[in-house]
Amino acid sequence: MSVGLVVVSHSAQLAAGVVELAAQMARDVVLVAAGGTDDGGIGTSLDKVTAALGQAETGSGVVVLTDLGSAVMTAETALEFMGNPDTIVLADAPLVEGAVAAAVSAQSGADLAVVRKAAETALHAGVEPALPVPDGGSAAEVTAVLTLINPIGLHARPAAALAGALGAMDVDIDINGADGQSVFLLMALGAGQGTELRVRASGPDAQRAVDLVRTEVESGFGEL
């Protein structure tokens, strides 16, 4: 089973909305919302958080994301009551971006540490200027130039599919200068239909990674 996620927020609607959004990109991941107080007000509930942690634990661990400071305190208190298990960790991450990045990583089969890192680095990386694909590449580098043919281009769902699949590979890959393993950096490209994607990869899984991108792009990400 994949790593589970718990979203702790002062608002029940906010927690549920973040879970709903992340679930669109990670349908096999257990995501549990723990928002609001026991009587439906604004605040946090120790009982709700404790119950959510139990629901999200499927054997591979749980990453917890929170909105404001007191939500962190509630989550920490719940962990203390549970004996601070090594299989449940709090991520110091933006709630929405961190939850989506963590969900995509968990969907790819990443372990607890990698899923936590995905959440915590969701907004930390920058987009490098796109570099030209060298003629013929090099022995250690695999390149491709592909054109987006699906009507909406590299929007959230295909970006998540690429980032999740590539994140499970031993490869360094960039697409138009953006880290191919980051759903947010891929979305930030704003690549619409007809956009040319310059793909460059190195590492043990370089050829497999580029082949994957080619297959997805040429099939229109299943949206044609």
- Three-state SS for 115? helix
For strands 88-90 and 178-179, give the pairing.
Answer: unpaired
Q: Please indicate whether residue 10 is annotated as part of the active site.
A: yes
Q: Which domains, and CATH codes, for the chain?
A: 4-120 (3.40.50.510), 141-222 (3.30.1340.10)
Q: Contact, 198 vs 212, CB < 8 A?
A: no
pLDDT given for residue 124 in this prediction = 60
User: Rounded to an integer, what distance in angstroms lies between the CA atom of residue 116 and that of residue 122?
Assistant: 10
Neighbours of 214 (CB within 10 A): 14
Q: Which candidate in 7, 10, 45, 171 is catalytic?
A: 10
Residue 202: partners with Cβ closer than 8 Å, 6 or more residues away: 140, 141, 142, 171, 172, 173
User: Rounded to an integer, what distance in angstroms lies between the CA atom of residue 163 and that of residue 150?
Assistant: 18
The one-digit pLDDT tens for each residue of the chain (224 residues) are 899 999 999 999 999 999 999 998 888 999 999 999 999 999 999 999 999 999 999 999 999 999 988 999 999 999 999 999 999 999 999 999 999 989 988 988 889 998 998 888 887 644 343 344 444 444 479 999 999 999 989 988 888 889 888 988 899 999 999 999 888 888 888 899 999 999 999 999 999 999 999 999 999 999 88
Label residue 48 exposed, middle or buried (CB < 10 Å: 0-12, 13-18, 19+): buried
- Three-state SS for 8? strand
Map tokens 């499970």 to a residue: 168
For strands 196-202 and 141-147, give the pairing.
Answer: antiparallel
DSSP 168-183: TSS-EEEETTEETT-H
Q: Contact, 26 vs 93, CB < 8 A?
A: no
pLDDT given for residue 86 in this prediction = 95
* Whether the model pTM is above 0.75: no
Quote the Cα angle for 113-25-21, to 5°: 100
Q: Contact, 79 vs 34, CB < 8 A?
A: no
Model pLDDT for residues 34-75, shown as the tens digit of each residue = 999 999 999 999 999 999 999 999 999 999 999 988 999 999
